[in-house]
Amino acid sequence: MAQVTLRLFASARVAAGLGRDQLQADTVGSALDLAVDRYGAGFAAVLASCRIWRNGDPAVSVDVLSDGDELAVLPPVSGG
């Protein structure tokens, strides 16, 4: 398993109650599953509309993680 940093922004940060965490996971999908287990249903609801980035690039759930990777959870942005 890889040791990765999870960074949460905007409504994802509010739902989780923190902006950064450390996880051990093999894939992006398993890291997000672990995050849902840790932070609960409110976070899961927000996560459904988020984009996930790995080391600054768009990620999909089957992407394999390496030690030191950073996952960013980015909710949709609205402007006014």
- Is 80 part of any domain? no
pLDDT category at 78 given cuts 50, 70, 90 is low
Alpha-carbon dihedral sign for residues 51, 56, 57, 61: negative
pLDDT category at 12 given cuts 50, 70, 90 is very high
The residue whose two tokens read 């609801």 is 45
Domain count, the chain: 1
| Mean pLDDT of the 45-70 span | 98
pLDDT (tens digit per residue) in 17-46: 999 999 999 999 999 999 999 999 999 999
Q: Percent of the chain having pLDDT more than 70? A: 96
The CATH number of the domain where 65 resides is what?
A: 3.10.20.30
Q: What is the pLDDT of residue 24?
A: 98
- Is 79 part of any domain? no
- Is 23 part of any domain? yes
Sequence-distant (6+) residues with CB within 8 A of 51 are 58, 74, 76
Helix boundaries (H) for 8-73: 10-16, 28-39, 41-47
Q: What is the pLDDT of residue 77?
A: 79
Domain limits for position 59: 2-74
